[in-house]
Amino acid sequence: INYSEPLRPQFHFTSGRNWINDPNGMVFNGQQYHLFFQHNPASTEWGNMTWGHATSPDMIHWTQHPHALLPYRIDGQAGTVFSGTAIIDHNNSLGKQQGDTPTMCAFFTFACEPRFYQALAYSTDLGHTWTYWNEGRPVVENQGFDAGERDPKVFWHEPSQKWVMALWVQQNPGRVRFFTSTNLTEWTFASDLMRDWAFECMDLITLPVDGDPAKTKVVLYDASFDYEVGQFDGKTFHTEAGPFVAGGGDFYAAQTFNNHPTGRAVQIGWMRGGPNPERVYQLPFNGQMSFPCDLTLHTHNNQPRLHAWPVAEIASLVDTTLEFSDVTLSPGDNLLEQVEKLDLVDLEIDFAPEASSELVLDLGRATVRYDATSQKLYLPAVDGEGHAREVVAFENLKPRDGSIRLRLLVDRLSVEAFVFDGERFYASYYNPTVGDDAVSITSQHGTTTIRSLKLNQLHSAWP
Ligand code: FRU
């Protein structure tokens, strides 16, 4: 595989070839991070779902491997392999452990029309080779909702010493069905949580509140990153706050690494939307993952809110850093006068706009602007046909203590924006073939004070 095509994303995961969607089975196995993903081996459009596979030492540099899970046929039923999660069977609940190497277990939806079910595959060699448990027959039988029950999230619940599965079940209202197990193959119904907002790919994580490990809360979120915050007692989720929405734009179906070595909740989502890059840019793939972000919980006006923030490991990609502080830009000034060209960028800026001004960040092919009059932040975007446009990433984005804090990650096909330490974020594909390479940061219709700016130019994460 060659990742050097001029428009290939350089610090976001893409498959060498063909279609990807949801991240699946994200897990740390004691040595490496595993990222599985919905992959069509045959085309740059959705179909023939398998679990593709990649590994990384640091969540930034990825190596793609042969497919982990392929479609199969059992008892006369043919199906494909839909989304799910993976765990490390640290106490050998499944009883398949070889030597000292704990078994990796992947729970997925067997998409066999018309009645999907949940099944299990396991690996005794750290994720290299996989066996379908009981030849891929169900561990959780169809619950009566046909194809509308999928994407099992499985995790270990320490207080009750049980494995838990959270299964999205399509119903009006939507629901999350919880099961528990001690051996990973027999699952007992625990509770139903009825929620209108819940749609596909549930994830449930425990996070400290304001960094205090003695005070934890549980966050339950779906594919659109709607979430509620509360407690989970091993069987039932008890809500305390929400629903809220954490992220927006071309961001979908995220999950977090199970078994993270330091307990961090690091999330990767699928960036869906945009045009098929094969059709519009002659690239051999379709779809990329969002940049990995740490999730944390912070109290705002007595309410817990989720923040997402790019992982610190991005530092390994930094080539050069340019910093400014306390510069007031008047119309006509260009803060980046000395910069000729920008490619891969991680930019953090704290800026205080005058009431009528507009800050324009022209970062090569991607242009981002904040309009102080309307209090909107615009990102470059692209529609399904490849036409360039602009999108309002954040409305009602008001300065706090006079300024706005914004972080931007710019790759060849995408921009991700984070405001106020990741309290809100937005991911957007843009069309890199439109516009010029000009670089500038300017203030129009009034002045803007740049309290601080850090511009990191990055190099590729591919070898
Ligand atoms: C979400 C989703 C999942 C499903 C998978 C199929 O994007 O629809 O619910 O398991 O994609 O590819």
Task: Give average pLDDT by consecutive 10-residue segment, the chain, 463 residues.
Answer: 91 98 96 97 98 98 98 97 98 98 98 98 96 98 96 97 97 91 98 96 97 96 97 98 95 96 95 97 98 98 96 98 98 97 97 97 97 98 97 98 98 98 97 95 98 98 95
Regarding whether 267 and 234 lie in a shared domain, the answer is yes
CA distances from 109 to 27, 50, 132, 142, 341 (A): 18, 11, 12, 10, 46
Q: What is the pLDDT of residue 279?
A: 97
Structural domain count, the chain: 2
Side chain identity at residue 246, one-letter code: A
Nearest-atom index, ligand 1, CA of 84: 10
Residue in this structure with the two tokens 């939307």, named with its chain if needed:
273
CA atoms within 13 A on the CB side of 79: 24
Residue 8 within a domain: no
- Report the alpha-carbon distance of residue 158 to residue 178 in Å, rounded: 16
Which of 113, 151, 251, 290 has the most ligand 1 atoms within 8 A of CB, as the residue to mutate?
Answer: 151
The residue from 310, 345, 361 where one domain ends is: 310
Structure tokens at 80: 């494909």
- Report the alpha-carbon distance of residue 204 to residue 154 in Å, rounded: 9
Q: What is the pLDDT of residue 172?
A: 77
Q: What is the pLDDT of residue 2?
A: 78
Which of 18, 19, 117, 150 has the most ligand 1 atoms within 8 A of CB, as the residue to mutate?
Answer: 150
The residue from 310, 343, 369 where one domain ends is: 310
- Report the alpha-carbon distance of residue 284 to residue 425 in Å, rounded: 28
CA of 84 to the centre of ligand 1 (A): 9
Contact 346, 407 (CB under 8 A): yes
Which of 117, 200, 271 has the most ligand 1 atoms within 8 A of CB, as the residue to mutate?
Answer: 200
Structure tokens at 70: 């392929």
Q: Give the residue, by CA position, lying nearest to ligand 1 atom 8.
A: 200
ipTM of the prediction: 0.99
Residue 196 within a domain: yes
* CATH label of the domain that carries residue 77: 2.115.10.20
- Judge if the upstream peptide bond of residue 114 is cis by omega within 30 degrees of 0: yes
Contact 49, 67 (CB under 8 A): no
Regarding whether 189 and 71 lie in a shared domain, the answer is yes
Nearest-atom index, ligand 1, CA of 22: 7
CA of 117 to the centre of ligand 1 (A): 14
Structure tokens at 26: 């994200």
Task: Kindly list the catalytic residues.
Answer: 22
**Positions of E strands within 147-290:** 149-157, 162-169, 174-181, 188-195, 203-209, 212-221, 226-232, 237-245, 247-249, 252-256, 266-271, 285-286, 288-289
Q: What is the pLDDT of residue 388?
A: 97
Q: Which residues contact 372 (CB under 8 A, 6 or more apart)?
A: 353, 354, 355, 356, 357, 358, 359, 446
Q: Where are the alpha helices (DSSP H) in 235-388?
A: 277-281
Regarding whether 377 and 257 lie in a shared domain, the answer is no
CA of 98 to the centre of ligand 1 (A): 32
CA distances from 162 to 26, 157, 188, 259, 262 (A): 20, 5, 11, 15, 21
The residue from 310, 335, 358 where one domain ends is: 310
* CATH label of the domain that carries residue 426: 2.60.120.560
CA of 22 to the centre of ligand 1 (A): 7
Ligand 1 site, CB within 6 A:
21-22, 38, 49, 82-83, 109, 150-151, 200-201, 223, 253
Q: Which domain holds residue 339?
A: 317-458
Q: What is the pLDDT of residue 353?
A: 97
- Report the alpha-carbon distance of residue 385 to residue 389 in Å, rounded: 11
Regarding whether 326 and 223 lie in a shared domain, the answer is no
Structure tokens at 238: 């008890």
Residue 12 within a domain: no
Q: What is the pLDDT of residue 173?
A: 79
Q: What residues pair up with 358 in beta bridges, in sequence order?
A: 371, 444
Regarding whether 326 and 301 lie in a shared domain, the answer is no
Q: What is the pLDDT of residue 239?
A: 98
Contact 443, 362 (CB under 8 A): no
Q: What residues pair up with 276 in beta bridges, in sequence order?
A: none
Residue in this structure with the two tokens 């491997």, named with its chain if needed:
65
Q: What is the pLDDT of residue 176?
A: 98
The DSSP 8-state label assigned to residue 302 in this structure reads: T
Regarding whether 111 and 259 lie in a shared domain, the answer is yes
Residue 102 within a domain: yes
CA of 49 to the centre of ligand 1 (A): 9
Regarding whether 452 and 430 lie in a shared domain, the answer is yes
Contact 417, 368 (CB under 8 A): yes
Report which of 218, 215, 206 is spatially closest to residue 242, judged by C-alpha positions.
218
Regarding whether 305 and 322 lie in a shared domain, the answer is no
Contact 192, 149 (CB under 8 A): no
Q: What is the pLDDT of residue 171?
A: 81
Regarding whether 154 and 270 lie in a shared domain, the answer is yes
